[in-house]
Homo-oligomer: A and B are copies of this chain.
Amino acid sequence: MRKYVFSVCILLAVAASASAVVEAPNGPAKYVFFMIGDGMASVQIHAAEAYLASVGANDIDDGGLNKSTDLAMNSELGYVGLQKTWAWNQLITDSAAAGTALACGHKSYAGAISVDPEDPNLAYKTLAELAKEQGKKVGILSSVSLDHATPAVFYAHEVSRNNYGNIGFQGATNGTVDFFGGGTFKDSKWADPSSMWPTFEANGYTIVHDLTDLQNLPVGTKCVAASSVTQDSQAMHYEIDRINSGANGEWSLAEVTEEAIRILDNEKGFFMMVEGGKIDWTCHANDALTSIYDTIAFDDACRVVIEFAKAHPGECLIVVTADHETGGLTQGWAGTKYDSAYQNLTTQTMSFQAFGRWLSDYQSNPYSFYNIVKIVLSYLEPDADLTRVINLIDDLDMQNKIEETFGVVYNDLSALQQAQLEEAYDRQMTGEKIRGSEEDYLIYGDYNPLAIACTHIINARAGLGWTSYSHTAVPVPVMANDPSFSGYYDNTDVAKKIAAAMGGSLN
């Protein structure tokens, strides 16, 4: 099934690569598309490309395996730059400081939502606000919650990214945004949760929660397309889960993008920011295949935008970039040396997040193998310390789930990997930090130990490595259909270049 999905993607990519790249804007851009893959550096993109080539080996002419198949964001835009992501107060940025730089052209502190670092009461003008001044409409789309840092920096000004209620309230009331779409808002964070949708409605927004309703909205509708079947933290599902589990028919980022374009289109044009927000979240958890799926989902949204631009030659600016890299992903791992085998990743069927949900259910289920054995043992030996008397080698239910989820077969693992998985099982079930806090964090971060142990095993098998559960300072690429974006520059320059291409300026 997954194979089929990607074969289609590859054929599209091959077909698309034959056509010319998107024409540069021939004056101030009428339509501006700012596509931000959160946490998506060159390595995330190229891992997806190499994966597509690996799984599509039978579908493309040159054998494909272990080569790479360009994503649309790379093959269709013509110009490349590299941007440095450092924040005002630290080399490794967060999405708020990076977003402020990308939206306003100013460095600020980690956590800042488009405010000055030394005077947080001073709001920076954003590209979306510039678009509004020019009479354009504005669309803000994200696969995570619409009050998360990256979307927020375009329409709100707050001292902290964590002030979700204030951010959402600004979005509902300040008139900057005409179309919100993707995930939804953190209603639980509003001072009065019951008033969230009424507040939007009072400000002229129509609220829709499924694709058909969205597709039926007339052109020009001011709206919030908010998923009602979110997976975690008011975000859309990870793409791997959306595809494999159905996710109750949740829309794709590309589908929302397509509708946003249709609804926003008008004679003065629009500014649209589309964020692939869950690339970052899965890279925090070092889950490579989930990151690859979300990168491809984001590229599918780019493809929608590119098709629109091809139909409107000379009128569109498209800029695809990231706010920072996440996870310290690299396309090489010590144990596999010069070998790569991304096709081995296909044995994974759900995200670390979905597996974590299953783990939570299993651990709290009184009838799970683990809990039954524990109860029996506690009757048999009431005084014994039952910590670590049950091993993964005995828990066939867990072994089966791990095989089903990751394709990791306990008995086929090396002695070292078996030991790592046993230790993760102990750590997962007992909560005990067996190697102490410092080493425990290095091995598992703050994630489910069994999820991390399994993704690390299959990533290693593919030949992929990670160095962190946080962001990194690796420069990130900028792909654009405008030659002014070639070069090496700061993230603040991206905003300035976009403003210039719009024929305007920031403050």
Query: What residues on B are CB-neighbors of A90 within 8 Å?
Result: 66, 338-340
Nearest residue (CB) in B for A439 is B416
Q: Is the CB of A335 within 8 A of B488?
A: no
- A273 on interface, CB distance cutoff 8 Å: no
Nearest residue (CB) in B for A76 is B488
> Which candidate, A166-174, A193-201, A460-468, is the interface stretch facing chain B?
A460-468
Query: What residues on B are CB-neighbors of A435 within 8 Å?
Result: 416
A96 to B78 alpha-carbon distance, docked (Å): 29
In the assembled complex, the CB of A27 is this many whole angstroms from the nearest CB of chain B, namely: 20
> Which candidate, A144-152, A207-215, A474-482, is the interface stretch facing chain B?
A474-482
Query: What residues on B are CB-neighbors of A78 within 8 Å?
Result: 486-487
Nearest residue (CB) in B for A472 is B332
Q: Is the CB of A441 within 8 A of B334?
A: yes
> Which candidate, A323-331, A350-358, A373-381, A399-407, is the interface stretch facing chain B?
A323-331
- A299 on interface, CB distance cutoff 8 Å: no
> Which candidate, A42-50, A118-126, A424-432, is the interface stretch facing chain B?
A42-50
Q: Is the CB of B441 within 8 A of A475?
A: no
Q: Which of under 10, 10 to 19, 20 to 34, or 35 or more describes the interface residues of A? A: 35 or more
A310 to B77 alpha-carbon distance, docked (Å): 31
A470 to B435 alpha-carbon distance, docked (Å): 29
**Quick one: which of A90-110 are within 8 Å of B by CB?**
90-92, 94, 110
How many copies the complex holds: the figure is: 2
Given contacts A66-B86, A340-B91, A488-B479, contact A471 B80 (CB under 8 A): no
- A82 on interface, CB distance cutoff 8 Å: yes
In the assembled complex, the CB of A412 is this many whole angstroms from the nearest CB of chain B, namely: 15
Q: Is the CB of A339 within 8 A of B92?
A: yes
Q: Is the CB of B67 within 8 A of A338?
A: no
Nearest residue (CB) in B for A65 is B91
Partner of A91, one of B331, B334, B473: B331
A442 to B443 alpha-carbon distance, docked (Å): 14
Known A80-B82, A333-B467; further 17 A-B contacts with Cβ < 8 A: A46-B475, A49-B84, A68-B84, A74-B488, A75-B488, A90-B339, A91-B331, A328-B330, A328-B331, A328-B333, A331-B474, A332-B473, A334-B441, A334-B467, A340-B473, A416-B436, A467-B467
In the complex, the 10 A-B pairs of residues with the closest C-beta atoms, listed nearest first = A465-B467, A332-B472, A328-B330, A486-B486, A331-B473, A332-B468, A91-B340, A66-B91, A74-B488, A337-B470
Residues of A within 8 A of B (CB): 42-43, 45-46, 49-50, 66-68, 70, 74-75, 78-82, 84, 86, 89-92, 94, 110, 325, 328-335, 337-340, 342, 414-416, 435-436, 438-439, 441-442, 445, 463, 465-475, 477, 479, 483, 486-488
A-B contacts, 26 of them at CB < 8 A, read: A43-B474, A45-B475, A66-B89, A66-B91, A67-B91, A68-B84, A80-B486, A90-B339, A91-B331, A91-B342, A92-B338, A330-B467, A330-B468, A330-B474, A332-B473, A332-B474, A334-B441, A334-B469, A335-B441, A337-B468, A337-B469, A415-B436, A416-B435, A416-B439, A467-B467, A479-B488
